[in-house]
Structure formats: structure tokens, C-alpha cells
Amino acid sequence: MDRLQAMTAFVRVVETGSFTAAARRMHLGQPAVSKAIAQLEGQLGVQLLLRSSHGLTPTGAGQRYFERVARIIAEVEEADRAARDSTASLDGRLRVALPTTFGRIQIVPRLGAFLAAHPRLDVDIELDDRRVDLVTEGIDIAIRIGPMNDSAVIARRLAQGRRSLIATPHYLATAPLLETPEDLPNHQAILYTRGGTIKPTFRRPDGAEMTIPLHARLHLSAAEGIRAATLAHLGLTIAADWMFQPELASGTVVRCLTDWDLTPVDLWALYPAGRLTSARARAFSDFVQHIVGTATQRPEPV
């Protein structure tokens, strides 16, 4: 194995945390990867990895080496792709993580245009509400909704989406009167939490503001559950309009307290830290931004 391949093997081992996973990503045998790392350590005269029953972690020297080498490998891969196709058509495989409901409603039905624009690109999509580890799971780009407090990734804010108080007409017809935020304690709330209450702040254009605690008997940990409970007339919920777009369009659900606004929600594209963002990932984030752009307020870049 030549020096560049050995460097690539080292980067993949650090990213995945094991020789076996790195070998799988490189389509090599595990012994070949282990031998390449040993040879690399011999050439450098330093130990790059600490091996134990708990897995592999880089040494201090290994971490410094990884941070530089990962950028080199990413640049080489980008140069290879550019040289193979002067028209800048994308190829290879793109691994994407999407929130389940947002992906199912907003992205998957529109993927045809993206695939048609890049006929040599294969796309693997993970639909999951959990916060995946981009490096360990080999994810090129993740789309997330909500606050961003993860320093282990590179984040690009794509858009801001409207949040609304949402319920079915059937629920509202059988529930107590709802004319102002002060009426909310009389209602059944469906919350995306694991117990407790939330305290959303409602604002009016004239400057009026109210922070009202919402109590709920029903808490769910996934957006699909929130949708199902709301559509079953079990109560009202606060959600990004993206999550109920088809039902809002058809009138199956309606916005409540429309004279009041809630803080909008951010949509983010996340990339693995420690290496350059690939052209494939950038193209996909641009595609997502285009999809949501007509229905969102475009923020300034961050």
C-alpha cells in the first residue's frame, strides 16, 4: 500500500474508530489496513493510535496528524472528481441523514430533480430523528431543525421556518374557546418533550407579548407521533409548518391564534468537522435550501 493509501486508511480508522469499519469503507481486508497503519507509524517514528479492548483512539501526535492529513485526503478526492468530469457532474455516493417527518414530507418526494441533475450520483438517506454521529456513521451531510449547539460539526443555516399553534377543526369544535394565548391552559397540548411543560412566547405585531406555560398529558419523542396525535384530534401542538404542510394546505389542520407569532425555527445543514465539505454535500444542501426557500424567510449567512 502506497503512502497516500496508508494516509487514507489512517483517516478512515480515526473516523470510524475501528480497523474493520475502515476496511469496509475502503473495500479492503482488515489485515491490509492494520499493516498500512503499522507501516505508517514506522515511517513516522511515532505511535498514531492507542489500541485497547474499548477500541481505537488517536494519540496526541495521531490527532495532530489526522487534522492535517484529513484535509489533504479530502482535497485529493475533490481533485480526482473534478478531473474525471470537466462538466462538474457529481458522482460517487452521498450519505444523508434527515429528520424522519421533514425528510418524508419535504425532501423525498422531490428527490427526482436532484437525482436527474446528477445521474452518476448514488444517494443513501437515513431517516431518523436522533442526532447521528456524522463521523462514526460515515454521514456526509445531516439536516437538522432547531437550535444548534453541536461544536463537533460544521453548520450552515439554510433557512428559518414559521412555527404555529396547530390543531384540527374537529378538536377546536369540541374544545374550550381559544381566542388568546391566555386560553391555552384550558386545552390539551401535545408536546415534543419527555415530560414537564414548555413556555412558548407569543408576540403580536403591535408589540404585545405573552409567555404561556403549556401543560400536556401526552408527550412524544418523535415528530411522526406528534403528527399522528394531532390528526387524531387529541389536542393542539406547536410545530414548524413544514411538519404539517399537506394538512395545512387541505384544511385538515389549521393555525390557531393567527394574530400572534411564535419564534421561527432554524433549518441547518451539518457537515463532519475535520475535513473539507464535499461538492456532493454542498450540492445537496443547496437543493434543500431551494426546496424550503419559497416558504421560509431567508436568513443572513452565519
Does a structural domain hold residue 210? yes
Same-domain check for residues 132 and 196: no
Q: How much is the average pLDDT of 258-273?
A: 92
Span 250-255, average pLDDT: 97
What was the pLDDT predicted at 86?
A: 45
Per-residue pLDDT tens for 51-74? 776 678 889 999 999 988 887 887
Does residue 301 lie in a domain region?
A: no
Q: How many residues does the chain have?
A: 302
Q: How high is the pLDDT of residue 170?
A: 97
Q: Taking residues 170-196, what's their average pLDDT?
A: 89
Pairing of strands 55-58, 218-219: unpaired
- Residue 300 inside a domain? The answer is no
Does residue 47 sit in the same domain as residue 181? no
Q: 194 and 142, same structural domain?
A: no
Task: Look at residue 300 in the predicted model and tell me its pLDDT.
Answer: 35
Same structural domain for residues 248 and 284? no
Residue 130 maps to a domain: yes
Q: Is the pLDDT of residue 124 over 50?
A: yes
For residue 45, the model assigns a pLDDT of: 92
State the pTM of this model: 0.66
Q: What is the mean pLDDT of the chain?
A: 87
The torsion defined by the Cα of 119, 124, 128 and 130, in degrees rounded to 10, comes to -120
Q: What pLDDT score was predicted for residue 167?
A: 97
CB of 212 closer than 8 Å to CB of 182: yes
Residues 67 and 113 in one domain: no
Across 15-32, average pLDDT: 89
CATH of the domain at 62: 1.10.10.10
Residues of the chain with pLDDT > 70: what percent? 89
Helix ranges (H only) for the chain are 3-16, 19-26, 30-44, 60-84, 100-102, 111-117, 169-174, 223-231, 245-250, 279-293
What's the total number of domains in the chain?
3
Give the CATH number for residue 197. Answer: 3.40.190.290
Radius of gyration of the chain (CA): 24
Predicted confidence at residue 262, as pLDDT, reads: 95
Task: Note the pLDDT of residue 96.
Answer: 95
Average pLDDT, integer, range 124-133? 88
Distance separating alpha carbons of residues 234 and 225, to the nearest angstrom: 11
Do 95 and 66 share a domain, yes or no?
no
Cα dihedral across residues 129, 135, 141, 147: positive or negative: positive
pLDDT at 47: 92
Q: Give dist(CA 209, CA 215) in Å, integer.
A: 19
pLDDT higher than threshold 70 for residue 147: yes
- Per DSSP, 113 falls in state H
Residue 282 CB neighbours (<10 A) = 16
State which of 19, 54, 84 marks the end of a domain: 84
The whole domain housing 273 covers 91-158+266-293
pLDDT at 194 over 90: no
Domain identity same for 152 and 279: yes
Residue 144 and residue 14 share a domain: no
